[in-house]
Amino acid sequence: MVGQRIALVNNLVVAMSDIKTVFTDITSGTAYNITDVGLEEDTSLATAVIISLFTDKRDPQALPEDARGWWCSDIGSLRWTINRSKQTNEVLQKFIQYDTQALEWMHETGLVKDIFISARWVSPGVLDERINLTLINNSVVNFSISES
């Protein structure tokens, strides 16, 4: 499977899985599917990308009551800090910067060789973002986000 995460355990290659997280929309958030044997699993990078981008990372520059995020972790993105900003090229570059930082752990842990993100304003209040993750085997996994 393209984008499948694997681990070496006792000299055996084992597929790693997460509870499959399905992103519904920015207002409703995520959903989880229940199967006959429990929660549906996902061995692709989709759940990892969703969690990384749409979990609020704690803002170290914010006042404690405004910091959001989980105080004990560096998981997530600071994209929430600019969600209500004007649609400028500077803000667009911040989205790319924050999302690249949020996905950097994939590069650091060897899940991906390269992360490329592009973004544009498609209409007033609508951000279109393309994420390309180059895997170790040089295949590319693409994600598309349209957010208003």
CATH class entry, domain 6-147: alpha beta
Which residue would you say has higher pLDDT here, 79 or 67?
79
**Mean pLDDT, rounded, of the chain:** 79
Q: What is the pLDDT of residues 77-127, one digit of tens each?
A: 999 889 888 999 999 999 999 999 999 999 998 889 999 999 999 999 889
| Weakest mean pLDDT among 12-16, 69-73, 143-147 | 12-16
Res 93: pLDDT: 96
Classify 33 as helix, strand or coil.
coil
If phi > 0 it is left, if psi is from -120 to 50 it is alpha, else beta; for residue 112 that is: beta
| 147/133: higher pLDDT | 133
What are residue 115's DSSP bridge partners? 133
Which has more confidence, 11 or 110? 110
| Joined tokens for residue 136 | 């170790």
Distance CA 63, CA 24 (A): 30
Report the C-alpha gap between 75 and 55 in whole angstroms: 7
Going from N- to C-terminal start, the domains of the chain cover 6-147
| pLDDT band, residue 148 (cuts 50/70/90) | confident
pLDDT beyond 70 at 17: no
pLDDT confidence bin for 22, thresholds 50/70/90: low
List beta partners, residue 38. Answer: 35
The pLDDT of 4-31, averaged and rounded, is 57
Region 135-143: mean pLDDT is 89
Can you point out the beta strands (E) in 6-125?
Answer: 6-9, 12-15, 18-19, 22-25, 29-31, 34-35, 38-39, 41-42, 112-123
**According to DSSP H, which parts of 34-120 are helical?**
46-54, 89-108
φ, ψ for residue 73 (rounded to 5)?
A: -140, 160
